[in-house]
């Protein structure tokens, strides 16, 4: 099962301060905007999403269909197939995808320690 590109989505208190901090670590902005209350920051193949006022806590994020720079992959595991595999493995989902749908969708699960995992397919 290929979950796609991985990033960490961080809930931040001050987006501008966080942007400046991660820029000092070598990250540069590749998406979002201060006016949109989120930024996608990149350093090599490492992605970090900075989100102000959108959710509480931090989230492990996977994007089926994208490579490490957010470009569409020719072939990928659709989120509905990923969901079927997760459920058949006995993993309980917090939020499920309509299996009869197509295109963009997301599902949410938590690991045994309560860490939130978002699988977010954009295409």
How many structural domains compose the chain? Answer: 1
pLDDT, tens digit, for every residue of 23-33? 999 999 999 99
What would the mean pLDDT of 108-116 be, rounded to a whole number? 94
Taking a C-beta distance cutoff of 8 angstroms, is the pair 91, 106 a contact?
A: no
Residue with tokens 């931090």: 58
Q: Which domain holds residue 39?
A: 5-121
What would the mean pLDDT of 53-64 be, rounded to a whole number? 95
Indicate if the pLDDT at residue 59 is higher than 90.
yes
**pLDDT class for 69, splitting at 50, 70, 90?**
confident
User: Within 10 Å of residue 110's Cβ, how many Cβ atoms?
Assistant: 14
CB within 8 Å of 46: residues ≥ 6 apart: 27
Give me the CATH number covering residue 78.
3.10.180.10
Residue with tokens 């690991």: 111
What mean pLDDT value characterizes the chain?
95
């Amino acid at each position: 099962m290929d979950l796609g590109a991985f990033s960490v989505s961080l809930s931040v208190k001050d987006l501008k301060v966080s942007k400046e901090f991660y820029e000092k670590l070598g990250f540069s902005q590749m998406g979002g905007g201060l006016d949109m209350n989120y930024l996608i920051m990149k350093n090599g193949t490492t992605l970090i999403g900075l989100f102000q006022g959108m959710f509480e806590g931090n989230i492990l994020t996977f994007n089926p269909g994208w490579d490490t720079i957010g470009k569409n992959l020719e072939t990928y595991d659709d989120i509905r197939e990923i969901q079927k595999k997760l459920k058949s493995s006995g993993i309980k989902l917090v939020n499920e995808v309509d299996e009869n749908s197509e295109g963009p969708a997301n599902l949410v699960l938590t690991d045994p320690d309560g860490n939130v995992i978002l699988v977010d397919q954009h295409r």
